[in-house]
Structure 1
Amino acid sequence: MYKFLYQEKKDTVISKQVLRSGTAIGAQSRKDFISKLSIAYKEARETNYWLRLLRDTNFINQDQAASLLLDCEELLKITGSILKTTKDKTDT
Protein backbone atom coordinates (compact mmCIF):
# COMPACT_ATOMS: atom_id res chain seq x y z
CA MET A 1 0.00 0.00 0.00
CA TYR A 2 2.83 2.38 0.93
CA LYS A 3 4.62 1.81 -2.39
CA PHE A 4 1.41 2.19 -4.36
CA LEU A 5 0.49 5.49 -2.70
CA TYR A 6 4.02 6.81 -2.84
CA GLN A 7 4.92 5.75 -6.37
CA GLU A 8 1.60 5.65 -8.23
CA LYS A 9 -0.32 8.43 -6.49
CA LYS A 10 2.76 10.52 -5.63
CA ASP A 11 1.43 10.98 -2.12
CA THR A 12 3.96 11.31 0.68
CA VAL A 13 1.83 12.34 3.65
CA ILE A 14 -0.80 9.59 3.67
CA SER A 15 1.60 6.93 2.39
CA LYS A 16 4.00 7.60 5.27
CA GLN A 17 1.12 7.70 7.75
CA VAL A 18 -0.13 4.31 6.51
CA LEU A 19 3.41 2.92 6.77
CA ARG A 20 3.92 4.26 10.30
CA SER A 21 0.53 3.21 11.63
CA GLY A 22 0.78 -0.22 10.04
CA THR A 23 4.20 -1.02 11.46
CA ALA A 24 3.86 0.33 15.01
CA ILE A 25 3.83 -3.09 16.71
CA GLY A 26 6.36 -4.40 19.24
CA ALA A 27 6.74 -5.26 22.91
CA GLN A 28 9.01 -6.33 25.81
CA SER A 29 7.71 -6.99 29.35
CA ARG A 30 4.07 -7.97 29.97
CA LYS A 31 3.28 -4.39 30.99
CA ASP A 32 5.13 -3.09 27.95
CA PHE A 33 3.42 -5.74 25.82
CA ILE A 34 -0.01 -4.51 26.91
CA SER A 35 1.01 -0.91 26.38
CA LYS A 36 2.47 -1.57 22.93
CA LEU A 37 -0.40 -3.81 21.91
CA SER A 38 -2.86 -1.12 22.98
CA ILE A 39 -0.97 1.31 20.78
CA ALA A 40 -0.93 -1.22 17.92
CA TYR A 41 -4.68 -1.67 18.25
CA LYS A 42 -5.19 2.10 18.17
CA GLU A 43 -2.89 2.40 15.15
CA ALA A 44 -4.76 -0.36 13.35
CA ARG A 45 -8.02 1.50 13.99
CA GLU A 46 -6.39 4.62 12.58
CA THR A 47 -5.14 2.68 9.56
CA ASN A 48 -8.69 1.43 9.05
CA TYR A 49 -9.84 5.07 9.03
CA TRP A 50 -7.19 6.09 6.48
CA LEU A 51 -8.00 3.14 4.24
CA ARG A 52 -11.69 4.02 4.28
CA LEU A 53 -10.79 7.64 3.51
CA LEU A 54 -8.61 6.54 0.59
CA ARG A 55 -11.45 4.36 -0.71
CA ASP A 56 -14.12 7.02 -0.26
CA THR A 57 -12.03 9.65 -2.07
CA ASN A 58 -11.16 7.20 -4.88
CA PHE A 59 -7.42 7.24 -4.18
CA ILE A 60 -7.64 3.46 -4.26
CA ASN A 61 -10.22 1.34 -6.04
CA GLN A 62 -12.93 -0.72 -4.37
CA ASP A 63 -11.07 -4.04 -4.84
CA GLN A 64 -7.88 -2.71 -3.29
CA ALA A 65 -9.83 -1.18 -0.44
CA ALA A 66 -11.85 -4.33 0.22
CA SER A 67 -8.74 -6.48 0.44
CA LEU A 68 -6.82 -4.05 2.63
CA LEU A 69 -9.78 -3.35 4.90
CA LEU A 70 -10.38 -7.08 5.32
CA ASP A 71 -6.73 -7.53 6.35
CA CYS A 72 -6.91 -4.54 8.68
CA GLU A 73 -10.11 -5.77 10.31
CA GLU A 74 -8.53 -9.19 10.81
CA LEU A 75 -5.55 -7.54 12.51
CA LEU A 76 -7.95 -5.61 14.73
CA LYS A 77 -9.70 -8.83 15.75
CA ILE A 78 -6.43 -10.64 16.45
CA THR A 79 -4.87 -7.71 18.29
CA GLY A 80 -8.04 -7.08 20.30
CA SER A 81 -8.28 -10.74 21.28
CA ILE A 82 -4.62 -10.94 22.36
CA LEU A 83 -4.99 -7.71 24.31
CA LYS A 84 -8.09 -8.96 26.12
CA THR A 85 -6.50 -12.32 26.94
CA THR A 86 -3.29 -10.72 28.16
CA LYS A 87 -5.17 -8.22 30.33
CA ASP A 88 -7.35 -10.99 31.77
CA LYS A 89 -4.25 -13.05 32.67
CA THR A 90 -2.58 -10.01 34.23
CA ASP A 91 -5.64 -9.20 36.37
CA THR A 92 -5.81 -12.71 37.89
Structure 2
Amino acid sequence: MIRNQITKSGTSIGANYREANRARSKADFSNKISIAESEASETAYWLEIIEELAWAEIQMVQAAMKEANELLAIFTSIGKNMK
Protein backbone atom coordinates (compact mmCIF):
# COMPACT_ATOMS: atom_id res chain seq x y z
CA MET A 1 0.00 0.00 0.00
CA ILE A 2 2.70 2.52 0.94
CA ARG A 3 4.59 1.68 -2.26
CA ASN A 4 1.53 2.57 -4.32
CA GLN A 5 0.86 5.77 -2.37
CA ILE A 6 4.41 7.09 -2.61
CA THR A 7 4.57 6.21 -6.31
CA LYS A 8 1.37 8.18 -6.95
CA SER A 9 2.29 11.22 -4.87
CA GLY A 10 5.93 11.26 -5.96
CA THR A 11 5.18 11.17 -9.67
CA SER A 12 2.28 13.60 -9.30
CA ILE A 13 4.67 16.36 -8.18
CA GLY A 14 6.39 16.54 -11.55
CA ALA A 15 3.21 16.05 -13.54
CA ASN A 16 1.45 18.92 -11.80
CA TYR A 17 4.49 21.19 -12.07
CA ARG A 18 4.61 20.48 -15.79
CA GLU A 19 0.91 21.24 -16.09
CA ALA A 20 1.38 24.47 -14.11
CA ASN A 21 3.90 25.62 -16.69
CA ARG A 22 1.27 25.08 -19.38
CA ALA A 23 -1.51 26.77 -17.41
CA ARG A 24 -4.10 28.80 -19.28
CA SER A 25 -4.57 31.33 -16.50
CA LYS A 26 -3.03 32.58 -13.29
CA ALA A 27 -5.72 30.74 -11.32
CA ASP A 28 -4.96 27.48 -13.17
CA PHE A 29 -1.22 27.94 -12.50
CA SER A 30 -1.88 28.59 -8.82
CA ASN A 31 -4.12 25.52 -8.56
CA LYS A 32 -1.55 23.21 -10.15
CA ILE A 33 1.24 24.58 -7.94
CA SER A 34 -0.98 24.01 -4.92
CA ILE A 35 -1.51 20.39 -5.96
CA ALA A 36 2.24 19.91 -6.48
CA GLU A 37 2.84 21.35 -3.01
CA SER A 38 0.32 18.97 -1.48
CA GLU A 39 1.81 15.97 -3.29
CA ALA A 40 5.34 16.92 -2.15
CA SER A 41 4.07 17.07 1.41
CA GLU A 42 2.41 13.67 1.08
CA THR A 43 5.56 12.17 -0.42
CA ALA A 44 7.63 13.49 2.50
CA TYR A 45 5.10 11.91 4.87
CA TRP A 46 5.38 8.49 3.24
CA LEU A 47 9.17 8.75 3.26
CA GLU A 48 9.08 9.48 6.99
CA ILE A 49 6.99 6.33 7.49
CA ILE A 50 9.43 4.28 5.40
CA GLU A 51 12.33 5.67 7.42
CA GLU A 52 10.66 4.90 10.76
CA LEU A 53 9.88 1.35 9.69
CA ALA A 54 13.41 0.90 8.26
CA TRP A 55 12.00 -0.46 5.01
CA ALA A 56 14.83 0.93 2.88
CA GLU A 57 18.44 2.00 3.12
CA ILE A 58 18.50 5.05 5.40
CA GLN A 59 20.78 7.13 3.15
CA MET A 60 18.49 6.60 0.18
CA VAL A 61 15.40 7.53 2.15
CA GLN A 62 17.06 10.61 3.64
CA ALA A 63 18.21 11.78 0.20
CA ALA A 64 14.69 11.40 -1.15
CA MET A 65 13.27 13.19 1.91
CA LYS A 66 15.69 16.08 1.38
CA GLU A 67 14.55 16.44 -2.22
CA ALA A 68 10.86 16.17 -1.32
CA ASN A 69 11.26 18.84 1.36
CA GLU A 70 13.17 21.12 -1.04
CA LEU A 71 10.37 20.78 -3.59
CA LEU A 72 7.81 21.43 -0.88
CA ALA A 73 9.65 24.63 0.08
CA ILE A 74 9.82 25.77 -3.55
CA PHE A 75 6.13 25.16 -4.23
CA THR A 76 5.14 26.75 -0.90
CA SER A 77 7.16 29.84 -1.80
CA ILE A 78 5.62 30.05 -5.27
CA GLY A 79 2.14 29.69 -3.79
CA LYS A 80 2.74 32.45 -1.26
CA ASN A 81 4.12 34.77 -3.93
CA MET A 82 1.02 34.18 -6.05
CA LYS A 83 -1.19 35.82 -3.42
Structure 2 length as normaliser, TM-score? 0.80
Higher relative contact order by CA 8 Å / sep ≥ 6: 1 or 2? 2
What residue in structure 2 maps to residue 66 of structure 1?
62
Cα root mean square deviation, aligned: 1.3
Matched, 1:56 2:52: yes
Give structure 2 stretches of 5+ with no counterpart.
Answer: none
What residue in structure 1 maps to residue 35 of structure 2?
39
CA distance in 1, matches of 2:50, 2:82: 33
Q: Secondary structure in 2 aligned to 1:23?
A: helix
Instruction: Give percent identity, aligned residues only.
Output: 37
Larger Rg: 1
Q: How many correspondences in the alignment?
A: 75
Which segments of structure 1 move beyond 3 Å, counting only runs of 4 or more? none
Give structure 1 stretches of 5+ with no counterpart.
Answer: 1-12, 88-92
- Higher relative helix content: 2
Shift of 1:15: 2.5
Structure 1 length as normaliser, TM-score? 0.73
